[in-house]
Structure 1
């Protein structure tokens, strides 16, 4: 190999090493559930990450720093080059009405049963918790989706009779999900969906579409 070729190889390997050092874990989605929570809701944070080394979930924890909710999660990532998707939900509980910051820190460890942090990636967003007394009639009549996360069924309430409801993967793919009406609610059969995040869009004539996300466990 000539000198120029050797230099290019060194640069290429160096760039790939740097990219790998910056990559992991991959944070795909972080959601506060339910969407648009009020102070009576039991809040959860749902996360979807991927590890490059045939990974697994180790643990999570959270704490408050003034008005910032800090969620930390640790994942095993080994030497075997197999990308693994991992879904997790963190139970936060009831939160007083107000505006908050959510900071999510995802880290990888080379150990399967303990978190010795190697690489880390973070994601920061904001969310608001409303006062129950402050809800307007329009807000209270907006579609409500539960349970969330779900295992077998999702119930969608406050849906107008002539609405069209569709379910999408985060990739934008429209999914065929069995639905039927029961006691004024729309029931979605999600038993055949793979674990992950999904978006439900409710279309009503003359209204802006309502978008709700849920986690299938």
Structure 2
């Protein structure tokens, strides 16, 4: 007797699901060194692993902390997509401001269901408008590069001659004082500083400088 076997192949469909997670690329502060008179904007840059869409964002300000939440739908097509979102924060009080940014990935296009997340923290300083010294800065020339990693140069107008440079923190504490030269080395940590230029004992002006 012959026995026959029937082989049934069940082919399960293969679905390529959304990958994890939204990647927070950058948080940019505009202007880079705001004063208490500036309208501050924050630009967030987020990349999702799949092509999808931006769903929503909101922010709250609690004292000196800005909390930002944004949600993105990451579709089925495996191709990264980058989103730029600009938030109008407005005028802030002087001091150090902390940003907590959380990006959510949603599997629903109608509403955010808060699936995978990624976060980034950033801080920046808002200067008191009395420290902005914009009238004097125009006389000083410019610092370049700015921001920098502690090594910088100062370009002066032809009618000014500086003899030495003084670096202070935002509270006015003197950190360094050195002769003026073509290239200056600042022995400071990352942060925002005031660069004071002198001709002998006469102060010529100020510039704000960011050290990364």
TM-score (norm 2): 0.55
> Number of matched residues?
138
- Change in Cα spacing, 1:137 to 1:89, as seen in structure 2 (3 Å) is closer
Counterpart for residue 127 of structure 1? 124
Please give the secondary structure, in 2, of the residue aligned with 1:118.
coil
CA–CA separation in structure 1 for the residues paired with 2:134 and 2:91:
22
Instruction: Report deviation, 1:55.
Output: 2.0
Could you list the runs of 5+ residues in structure 2 that have no partner in the other structure? 1-16, 146-181, 186-208
Q: RMSD of the alignment, in Å?
A: 3.4
CA–CA separation in structure 2 for the residues paired with 1:100 and 1:139:
26
Could you list the runs of 5+ residues in structure 1 that have no partner in the other structure? 1-16, 143-157, 166-204, 212-217
CA–CA separation in structure 2 for the residues paired with 1:113 and 1:159:
52
- Change in Cα spacing, 1:139 to 1:56, as seen in structure 2 (3 Å) is farther
Counterpart for residue 52 of structure 1? 49
Larger Rg: 2
TM-score (norm 1): 0.54
- Change in Cα spacing, 1:83 to 1:42, as seen in structure 2 (3 Å) is same
Instruction: Report deviation, 1:113.
Output: 3.1
2:80 alignment partner, one of 79, 83, 92: 83
User: For 1:61-140, what aligned pairs fall within 5 Å after superposition?
Assistant: 61-136=58-133, 140=137
Please give the secondary structure, in 1, of the residue aligned with 2:131.
coil
Please give the secondary structure, in 1, of the residue aligned with 2:50.
coil
Q: Note the alpha carbon deviations across 1:87-131, whole angstroms, 9 max, x for none.
A: 111111111111111111111111223211111100001111111
Counterpart for residue 199 of structure 1? none
Counterpart for residue 5 of structure 1? none
Instruction: Report deviation, 1:159.
Output: 6.6
- Change in Cα spacing, 1:128 to 1:85, as seen in structure 2 (3 Å) is same
Q: Note the alpha carbon deviations across 1:139-159, whole angstroms, 9 max, x for none.
A: 8449xxxxxxxxxxxxxxx97
- Change in Cα spacing, 1:98 to 1:77, as seen in structure 2 (3 Å) is same
